[in-house]
Structure 1
Amino acid sequence: MPRARVHDLDRLMDAAEKMAVDSGPAAVTVRALSEVTSVSNGAIYHAFGSRAGLMGRVWLRAAQRFLALQRDAVEHALTAVSSRDSPVEAVVAAADSPAEFLVQHPISGRFLLTVQRDELLGSSEIPDDVADELRKLDRTLVALLIQLSRGVWNRSDRESVAIIRDCVVELPTALLLRGKRNPDPAVRERLAAAVRAVLAIAPPPPTKTPTETK
């Protein structure tokens, strides 16, 4: 069975992404994708190995695009704002990135909200290389949270990083993304104000480990 060409892989992933957004993840089957794209079942299996491999690759592509946009937004804030304010504005930029991603890449943005990463990693059929790449993305996000925490408070302990995560992950989910296809600019402004308010309060002292208390 000939292997699908590179541009066919992107076309297949685009179609699978749209199917998941329009009809839910369960609608994405190899047979349904074959019918939509006119690519044979065999070619799809040859390209992705399984349905889980297909979904993992689609999620991975979307997440990589998002993290690249988020990283660019953070770097821009760090260089475009005065040095005193840039660490806080970098967190604001990171928090706003999910909304901006939905604007620039609406289907990919909705796909990331529709299909949960943990569901993919929980599948026994997902290829090892895809699972490894998904975990690498986790480490990339953690590294960004630590960088932002160090920039704001010169700390990288659990308590300070958790607050940055609240700003970058939890607040956007609560204020921007629930049921939103095109995030309201006013809501994005409220999110920025909320992030700045959270960061205005210093985190609690780091929790000492048992070895540190001896």
Structure 2
Amino acid sequence: MARPPRFDTDQILDAAVRLAASAGPVGVTMTAVAQAIGAPSGSMYHRFAGRAALLAEVWLRSVERFQEGYLACLHGDTDPRRAARAAARHVVGWSRAHPEEAVLLLYGPWEFGRADWSEEHTGRADSGNGRVYAAIGDLAAALGATEPQDRDRVVLALIDLPLSVVRRHLRAGDPLPPHAEDLAEESAAALLPAAPGDPAA
């Protein structure tokens, strides 16, 4: 009977996340990950076809974990402003809880070799991004943001601005300040248009 593998896929990807957080995507190689977990380099090829597949999987696992909670916030309240504020807070809260994966995601998929990913991996990435932008589009519509500049304000409030709150601290290796979630939420709220019928409109 064959022995079960000593390391499962999540353990391998966990090691890859740590390497990416400390050295960037260039530090994630088959050999470096194998050495980090004490496995023979050749055993990596039983799990991943090559470095491109490893990079794709470590990126996708991280971004899909983030997107799961982010989408739950966007869909979690019938009041679009409350949903938007929750989503802005989630960017910071998730980054606080998962600092290494958050640092990894600051690089972007192209720095993780997206040009060499398989069709299955690029499909997963595009599908996840499509769900996020569709949800943001629905929220923008609920807020009456129909003009391009209004939709851009919603994207700025829910994606770009919360990322700017965490980026400087994460890249410096500093902990996020305790007020970071409040700052992201308050700043996002200031940018959002009032929903139709809202007394604040």
Query: TM-score band, normalised by the shorter chain?
Result: 0.7 to 0.9
- AA aligned to 1:40 is P
TM-score norm. by structure 2 comes to 0.83
- In structure 1, runs of 5+ residues without a counterpart are 80-85, 203-214
Corresponding residue for 1:184? 177
Equivalent in 104, 107, 120 of residue 100 of structure 2: 107
- Decide which of 165, 168, 179 is 1:175's aligned counterpart: 165
On the 8 A contact 2:92/2:165 being kept in 1, the answer is: no
- Contact 1:66/1:101 (8 A) holds in 2: yes
How many residue pairs get matched?
191
> What is the CA deviation profile of residues 29-74 of structure 1, one whole-angstrom value per residue up to 9, with x for unaligned ones?
1111111112232321231211121011011011111011112223
Deviation at 1:152?
A: 1.4
Return closer, same or farther for 1:150/1:200 CA change in 2, 3 Å cut-off: closer
| Paired letter, 1:120 | F
User: Partner of 1:107: helix, strand, or coil?
Assistant: helix
Unaligned runs of 5+ in 2: 196-201
Q: Does 1:136 align with 2:127?
A: yes
Residue deviations 1:120-165 (CA, integer Å, cap 9, x gap): 35433x2221111111111111111112112211x55543332211
CA distance in structure 2 between the partners assigned to 1:145 and 1:157 by the alignment: 14
Cα distance in 1 between the residues matched to 2:176 and 2:35: 33
Distance change >3 Å, CA 193–CA 168, structure 1 → 2: same
Percent identity, aligned pairs only? 23
Give the counterpart of 2:110 among 112, 118, 138: 118
Write the distance in 1 (CA, Å) between the matches of 2:5 and 2:126: 27
2:92–2:180 contact (8 Å) kept in structure 1: no
Query: Partner of 2:176: helix, strand, or coil?
Result: coil
**How far did 1:90 drift?**
1.0
SS at match of 1:185: coil
Amino acid of the residue matched to residue 116 of structure 1?
G
Q: 1:20 to 1:121 in 2, by over 3 A?
A: closer
Whether the aligned pair in 2 keeps the contact of 1:121 and 1:131 (CA below 8 Å) is no
Please say if residues 143 and 193 of structure 2, whose CA atoms lie closer than 8 Å, have aligned partners that are also in contact: no
Quote the residue 1:163 is aligned against. 153
The alignment partner of 2:43 has SS state of: helix
The equivalent of 2:88 in structure 1 is: 95
RMSD (Å), alpha carbons:
2.6
Structure 1 contact 99–177 (Cα < 8 Å) conserved: no
User: TM-score normalised to the size of structure 1?
Assistant: 0.78
Change (3 A) 1:156 1:47: farther
CA deviation map 1:65-116 (0-9, x unaligned): 101111222344x15xxxxxx2112111112222111122222222212x31
| C-alpha spacing 1:47/1:28, structure 2 compared with 1 (3 Å) | same
**Equivalent-residue separation in structure 2 for 1:72 and 1:105 (angstroms):** 17
Q: Distance in 2 between matches of 1:164 and 1:6?
A: 46
> CA offset at residue 183 of structure 1?
2.4
